[in-house]
Structure 1
Amino acid sequence: MTNLYALPDDGDPRSVAMGPNPYHDGDYDGQGEPVANRSILKLRRLSEIKTPPPTRWIGPGWLPRAELTVLVGDEGIGKSLTWVLMAAHITKGTPCPAFNIPARKPADVVLVVTEDSTGEVEERLKLAGADLERVFIFSAKEDGTEPPTFGNSVRSGAFETLDSYLGDDELNPALVVVDAWLDTVEGNLNIRDTQQARAALNPWKIMATRHDTAVLLVTHTNRADTANTRNLMGGTAALRQKARMVLWAARPPAAEGEDSALPRLVLGPEKSNVTGLADAVVMDVEVAQVRPRSDEDPGTTAYLARPASMCQPIRDLVIQWHEDERQQERQANRKPTKAEEAAAVIREYMTGREEAPTAELKTHLSGKGFGKTAIEDALKAAGTSAPTGRRQPYVFRLHESDVQSIDDVELPGI
C-alpha cells in the first residue's frame, strides 16, 4: 500500500507528503493515491507562500465566484425566482442592479432542480429573458427529470460526472444552482450530523473552486418561532458554516393599507465572510399568462419585478418583523383594563346621541359595576365633559374619532 507519509523529493525529513489532494486534478494509482500534484505537509514561511487571489464576484456583495452561497427561505414564497433572475442576466450578459451584477460577457448556468418541473423552470427563465441555449439541466432522463443524488466525494458518482461536464472546454459555467440541496443528498448521509453534513458540502466547495463558478444551494427554513436567522436555517448548522455567503429570502408583512394578497419577496445577504452586508431588496412577485388557459392548466408563471432597496440588512428586518408580530399577538391577547371596558360601555351608551349629562353617564357606569377611578379614566379617554354654560350641569361628548355606530363597538362581557 502506498505510504501517504513518505518523505517528499526535497529531502527535508521534517516534510510529510500528503495525498490525495481533492483540490487538484492528477493521475492516481490503482489504490486512488495521487502520483503527481501531491500535497506536502511542512512549515512554510508566510512571505514565500503563494496566497490565493481575493474573492471575485458575479454580483459584488451577493454572489461570489469559486465559493458556496446558500439561499434560504420559507417554502412557497418565490425564492427560486431569485436564481431565475440571476441566471437570466448571467446568460444574457446584461446588468442586474438589484444584485450588483454588471454587464459582462454571457456565461452558462447549470441547474440541478428537484422541486419544480422542467417545463415550469423553462417558462420562468424565458419570461425572465434568459438565453436558454446557455442553460443546462443535469438529470438522468432526456426530459430533465430524475435529478441525481450526490455523495461525499468528487471522484465518484454524480459528482464525478458533473465535474467532467463542468471541465468541458465548450462550457463556461458561471453559476451552478442546486434547488433544493437537501433533496440531492444521498440517503446514507445524515446531514443532522455536522461532520457528515460538512462531508456532503465539501465536494461542492471543491467544484466551485476547481471550475471558478458560483455554487448556489437552495434550502428551506425550519419555521422555528425565533428572530435568530441562524436558528431558522433548516437542515444543518454546517450549511451556514460552510457557506461563504448566505442569502435570506422572506415574505414581508403587509404594510398598513397595503393589499396583503399582493405577494412580495424581500431578499438580502444574511452572512458574508468577505464583505459588509448589503441592504435587502424588495420585489413584487408578479404572475404572467405564458400559454393558453385550460380547465387543467391556468397557463401562468411567476416572475420578480420592480426591485427597490429596503435600506436595511435582511437580518435587522427579520428581527423587526418578528418583534412586531409578537407585539400584535400580545396586544390581541391582552385583557382590557377596567377603564377600557368602561370606555366601551360609554361608546355604546352614546350611540345615536351627540351629548349626555355627565352625572347620568356616571350613574349608568356605576350601575355596571365600575369604580370611581375607572369611570374618570374612561370619561377622559372617550371624550370631553364640560358645562354648557355658567352654573350649568356638565355634559359629555365623545371624541370625533370615537363617534361610531353600535355595530363597531366591542362590548365587555359584563
Structure 2
Amino acid sequence: MTEQRAGRRLVVTRGSDVTTKRVRWVVPDWIPAGALTLLAGREGLGKSTIAVELCARVTRGALDDGEWVGQRRNVLYLHTEDAREFTVAPRLRAAGADMERVLFVDVHTDLTENGTMILPADTLALDDLVAAERVSLIVLDAATSAMSSELSGKDDRQVRQFLEPLAQLAARRDCVVLGLCHFGKRDGNDTGKLILGSIAWSQVARSVLSVAKDDDSGNLIITNTKGNLAPRTRSMEAVIESATVPTEDGDAEVGLLRWLGESDRDARDLLAGDATPDTEERTAAEAWLEDYLTEHGQTPAKVVKAEARKQGFSDATVKRAAKSIGVAYDIAGFPRTSVWRLQSAQWDQGLPTHEPNEPTEPTGRDQRKHSEPTEPNYQSAHAHVNEPTVTPLAHEVRTPGRSVGQWLGSGKPVATVTQIGGPVDRARAKVLELLAGGAELTAREMRGGRISKETRTGLDAALRLLTAAGQISSREDGRKVVYRLAGGRSESA
C-alpha cells in the first residue's frame, strides 16, 4: 500500500453527491458572488475611485440590482498606494459610505504595528477575519501590493499561488474579492495580455472589468472584457468629478464617480489603439469614412465613430482609417469638441466666388511643405508670368508648372485657388481612366479601383474639377452620385 505524506490524504466525492447551484450576481454580468474579480486599467484613470464607489453602495445597501440589493454589508479595504487619512477615507465619505461598515487592517509584529498583509502567508488570518467580521467585499488596492515579495507577478505558477487561495476564500466565505490591476502602455484588445505580468492574472479571475478613457468625451468606459459566468458583455459609462468632503482639519477635494448609464461602447475598442487590424477591414473602413465625410462634411468625431460602430467598425479601426486617408482634425464649439473633415473639404469652405481684381502675392509660407492652406492664395508661386488672366467659372486646385489650360485639358477658364501638388493631378487621370468606355461609377467604386492612398486624397477635388471643366457629368441614383464621361467618351488626360 502506498504511504501518504503526513497530513495529506485523497478524498473522493461522487458527481451524484455534488449540489448544483446557479450563478449569483452582486453586480449583474460584472461581479459574481463568491468569486475573484479584477478591475484593470491604465494608471491614473480612477480605478480606486470606482472601487470606493462600489464599497460605499455595498455599505449602504444601495446596489441597484443583484443578490445584495437592500442589504447593508461590511467591506474590507486593503490599501498600500494611497494614504488612509488623506485619500481613502475622504473618498469613501464623499461617496456616502457607512464608515462603520468599512474595515481597514494592519499587521502587528514584534517589530512594527503598521505592517501590511502579505499573501498567501496571511491567508488563514484573513479567512478568520472575514468570518468574524462578516465581510462581504474585500478590495485589494492594488492586488500586487498584498503579494509576497517572494512571488513574481510575471510567473504563471507564482501568480496562481497568490490568487488561487483568494479565489477559494471567496467561494468558501461567499464573499467577493476585488483586485485592482494595472495595464501596461502597449495597445491591444486582449485585456488578459494587457495586465502587467503573467496571463494567469486574467485566467484565475472569474471576471475582469476593464477601464478605458474615451478621449472624445473624457468619460470612462467600463466593460466586462472577461466574463466566464456572464451571459453578455456589458459596458457602463461614468465620469469622475471633483467633490468637497469635510475633514477634521478642513475641507478636502477628492474624486467622486458618477455613473452615466449603460453604453454601447466597449473598452477594448479604446484600448486597441494602433494595433494592426485586418487589411480588408481597414480598407473597407477607409472607403466608408471617406464617403461619409464627403457626404456630411465636417462632423464631430464622436458622431463619426458612433456611425462607424453601426457599420461594424471599431473606434480603433476608424481612427486608423482617418489617419490613412489624411483626415484633418479641428477643435470647435463649446464645450470644445474634436471635429473631423477631409482635407479637401476646407477648399469648399469660405472660398470667394469670384477672383479679385489683381492677383495677390504668395502668403510667404512655403506651400510646397503644407498639404492644407491657411488662407486662399490666388497666385501660385510657380505660375507662369505670361499666363493670361482667367475669368471665374469654378474653383481649381493648381499644380506647379502647369497652365490652367494644361491642367484641365479643355482650355475652359477657371478660378485658381491654391496649390496642393500631385495627388489631384493623379486622381484626375485615374478618374478618366476608370470612366473610359462609358463606365458609370460612384466615388466609392472608384476608390476600390486600385487607387493609391496618396491619389485617394485628391479624388474629391479631381471630381469637382473634371465636372467644372465639363469632362465628366454626374447624376443622382437613389442616395448615390454616379459619374460618367461627358458625352460618354474619354477625353485626353
TM bucket by the smaller chain?
0.5 to 0.7
Provide the secondary structure at the position in 1 that maps to 2:124. Answer: helix
Q: Give 1:408's aligned residue.
A: none
1:108 and 2:102 matched: no
1:312 offset after TM fit, Å? 4.8
Q: Give 1:131's aligned residue.
A: 98
Q: Give 1:28's aligned residue.
A: none
1:270 offset after TM fit, Å? 1.1
1:146 offset after TM fit, Å? 4.8
**Structure 2 vs 1, CA of residues 182 and 382 (structure 1 numbering), >3 Å: closer, same or farther?**
farther
Assess if the C-alpha contact under 8 Å between 1:84 and 1:124 holds in 2: yes
Which of 123, 126, 129 is matched with 1:165 structurally? Answer: 129
In structure 2, how many angstroms separate the alpha carbons of the residues matched to 1:194 and 1:358? 65
1:241 offset after TM fit, Å? 0.8
**Structure 2 vs 1, CA of residues 246 and 384 (structure 1 numbering), >3 Å: closer, same or farther?**
same
In structure 1, how many angstroms separate the alpha carbons of the residues matched to 2:102 and 2:26? 17
Which one scores higher on RCO, CA 8 angstroms, separation ≥ 6?
A: 1
1:121 offset after TM fit, Å? 1.1
**Structure 2 vs 1, CA of residues 332 and 372 (structure 1 numbering), >3 Å: closer, same or farther?**
closer
In structure 1, how many angstroms separate the alpha carbons of the residues matched to 2:254 and 2:35? 31
Q: Give 1:323's aligned residue.
A: 317
Assess if the C-alpha contact under 8 Å between 2:395 and 2:465 holds in 1: no
Assess if the C-alpha contact under 8 Å between 1:112 and 1:137 holds in 2: yes
1:64 and 2:64 matched: no
The residue type paired with residue 363 of structure 1 is S
Provide the secondary structure at the position in 1 that maps to 2:403. Answer: helix
Q: Give 1:82's aligned residue.
A: 50
1:40 and 2:4 matched: no
Q: Give 1:289's aligned residue.
A: 244
Assess if the C-alpha contact under 8 Å between 1:89 and 1:96 holds in 2: no
Residues 148-188 of structure 1: CA deviation (Å, up to 9, x unaligned) = 242435xxxx32332221121xx221100001011221111
**Structure 2 vs 1, CA of residues 52 and 354 (structure 1 numbering), >3 Å: closer, same or farther?**
farther
| TM-score using structure 2 length | 0.58
In structure 2, how many angstroms separate the alpha carbons of the residues matched to 1:216 and 1:232? 18
In structure 2, how many angstroms separate the alpha carbons of the residues matched to 1:226 and 1:166? 37
The residue type paired with residue 42 of structure 2 is D
Residues 103-130 of structure 1: CA deviation (Å, up to 9, x unaligned) = 2220100011112211211111111111
Provide the secondary structure at the position in 2 that maps to 1:40. Answer: coil
Sequence identity of aligned pairs in percent?
A: 24
Q: Give 1:212's aligned residue.
A: 174
Which of 222, 230, 235 is matched with 1:267 structurally? Answer: 222
| TM-score using structure 1 length | 0.67
Provide the secondary structure at the position in 2 that maps to 1:290. Answer: strand
Assess if the C-alpha contact under 8 Å between 1:281 and 1:310 holds in 2: yes
1:298 offset after TM fit, Å? 8.8
Cα RMSD (Å)? 4.1
In structure 1, how many angstroms separate the alpha carbons of the residues matched to 2:89 and 2:396? 75
Q: Give 2:258's aligned residue.
A: 305
In structure 1, how many angstroms separate the alpha carbons of the residues matched to 2:2 and 2:166? 25
Provide the secondary structure at the position in 1 that maps to 2:10. Answer: strand
Provide the secondary structure at the position in 2 that maps to 1:86. Answer: helix
1:249 offset after TM fit, Å? 0.9
1:218 offset after TM fit, Å? 0.6
In structure 2, how many angstroms separate the alpha carbons of the residues matched to 1:66 and 1:223? 31
